[in-house]
Structure 1
Amino acid sequence: MEPILVYGFPLGSATGLVAAFEWLGQPYRLSRVDMLKDMTTDDYRRLNGRGETPVLITDDGRVLTETMAIAQWLEARDTERRISFAPGTPEADRMHQLIGFVNTGFTGAFSPLWAALEMSPPDPAMQEPLRAVGRKMVADRHGQLEAMIGDTPFLVGDRPTLADGVLAGVARWAEFHDAPDISAYPKLSALRRRIESDPAFVFGVALEDGETPTGSGAMKGQVPLADVISRFAG
C-alpha cells in the first residue's frame, strides 16, 4: 500500500511534509484533519494519543508520529537523494542539525502564543503575558535561525530538502501570530519566499485550504480520516 500522511488544517506543520513527499516523487496518499475539531476527539487520540499531527501510516501499516521520525522515514526511502544527502556527509549532518533546531527550539517558541490563542475560557490576565513571552521567544529563535542560514538558495544547497519542508510548515505561523516582523530577517525572508513559491509547497497549501490542485502525480488520493482510524488506530 502507499503510505498515508495525516495532515492538519489550518496552518498545519505537516504541510511541509506534503511538499517533501512531492519532491520525493514516490506514491503516497493523504488524510485531511480539522485540527480544531477532529484532533480533540477520542477517536483521533486512538491514532495519536497526544492529539497532534503529523501522523504517518507507513507502507506496511505501522503508525508513526512526530515530525523528525517521519522525516527520517522519508530520508531512508530517498535512494535518489532528491530531498536528502548520503549518510555521513557534511551536508547530511547540516540537514539533520537544521531539522533538529526547527523542530525543537524554533517550533517550541510558538507554544505560548498558541496557548494564549486556544485558552478556554479566555483569561486576558494570563493571555497577555503569554503573548509577550511568546513574541520574545519567537523573535529570539528567528534571530538564531537567521544566523544559521548560509549563502545557498535553500537551507542546505541549491535545492529544497527535508529541512526546507520542515521549516516551511511552521515558519508561516509568524504572520498568523503577528510575531515577529519577518522583514527584520532578510536571509530567512528570502528563503521563505523561495520555498513558499515552490510548486510542491503551493500544492500542499492548496490541499490544506480544501482545494483540489494538480500536483506532481505522486499523490494518489485522499483517505477519509474515519477510514484511517478504523483501519490503523490502536
Structure 2
Amino acid sequence: MEPILIYGFPAGSSMGLVATLEWMGLPHRLCRVDMMGEMREPAYRRLNQRVETPALVTDKGEIITETMAIAAWLEARDSERRVSFDPLSRQADRMHQMMAFINTGFTGSFGPLWAALEMETPDPQMQAVLRTFGSQAVIERHDRLEELVGDDRFLVGDRPSIADGVLIGVARWLDFHQVADKGRWPKLAALRGRIEAEPAVKYATALESGEAATGSDACLGHVELAEVIERFGK
C-alpha cells in the first residue's frame, strides 16, 4: 500500500509535508482533517492520542506521529536525494540543524498565541497575557532564525529540502496571528517568498483550503478520515 499523510486545516504545520511529498515524487495518499472539529472527536485518538497533526500511516500500515519522526521516515526513503542529502555530508547536518530549530523553539514560540485563540472558556485577561508573551517569543525566535538563514536560495543549497517544508507550514503563522510585518526579517521574508512560489507549495496550500488542485502523479488521491481510523486506528 501507499503511505497516507494525515494533514490538518486551517493553517496546519503539516502543509509543508504535503509539499515535501510533491518534491519527492513518492507515491502516497492524503487525508485532510479539520483540526477544530473532527480531530477533537474521541475516535481520532485511535490515530494520535496527542490529538495533533501530522500523522503518517506507513506503507506497512503502521502509524508515525510527530513532524521530525515523519521527516526522518521520508528522508530514509528519499533514495534519489530530491529533498535530502548524503547522510554523511555537511548539507545533511545543516538540514537536520535547521529542522530541529524550526520544530522546537521556533514552532513552540507560537504556543501561547494558539492557547489564547483556542481557549474554550474565554478569559480576556489571561488571553492578553498569552498574546503579549507569545508575540515577544515569536519575535525573538524570528530574530534567531534570521541569523541562521544563509545566502543560498533555500535553507540548504539551491533546491528545496525537507527543512523548507518544515519551515513553510509554520512560518505563515506570523501572518495568521498578526504578530509583526514579515519584512522586519528581510532574509527570512525573501526565503519565504521563494518557498511559497514553489508549485508544490501552491498545490499543498490549495488542498489545505479545500480547493481542487492538480499536482504531480505522486498523490493518488484522498482517503476519508473515518476510513483511515477504521483500517489503521488502534
Under a length normalisation based on structure 1, what TM-score does the superposition of the two structures give? 0.99
The corresponding residue for 1:24 is: 24
Q: Which runs of structure 2 are paired with 1:86-97 in the superposition (5 Å)?
A: 86-97=86-97
SS of 2:220's equivalent?
A: strand
- The 5-angstrom pairing of residues 107-122 of structure 1 reads 107-122=107-122
Partner of 1:40: 40
What is the DSSP-based 3-state SS (H/G/I as helix, E as strand, rest coil) of the residue aligned with 1:152?
coil
Partner of 1:199: 199
Q: What secondary structure is seen at the aligned counterpart in 2 of 1:86?
A: coil
Q: Cα offset for 1:180?
A: 2.4
Alignment correspondent of 1:80: 80
2:60 equivalent in structure 1: 60
Map of 1:104 onto structure 2? 104
The letter of the residue matching 1:73 is: W
Counterpart residue identity of residue 223, structure 1: V
Distance 2:190 2:57 in 1: 34
**CA displacement at 1:181 relative to structure 2:** 1.9
Given that 1:138 and 1:180 are in contact with CA atoms closer than 8 Å, whether structure 2 keeps it comes out as no
Describe the SS at the equivalent of 1:210: coil
Query: Offset of 1:58 from its aligned partner?
Result: 0.3
In structure 2, stretches of 5+ residues that fail to align are none
Q: Distance in 2 between matches of 1:72 and 1:136?
A: 31
C-alpha distance in structure 2 between counterparts of 1:123 and 1:110, whole Å: 19
Written as runs of structure 1 = structure 2, the 5 A alignment for 1:109-148 is: 109-148=109-148
Shift of 1:136: 0.2
Q: How many residues align?
A: 234
1:2 CA drift (Å)? 0.5
Percent of aligned positions that are identical:
61
CA distance in 2, matches of 1:184, 1:145: 12
Structure 2 residue aligned with 1:174: 174
Q: Which amino acid aligns with 1:6?
A: I
RMSD of equivalent CA atoms: 0.5
TM-score after normalising by structure 2: 0.99
Q: Are 1:13 and 2:42 an aligned pair?
A: no
The residue that corresponds to 2:189 in the other structure is 189
Consecutive unaligned residues of structure 1, counting only runs of 5 or more, are none
Q: Report deviation, 1:227.
A: 0.3
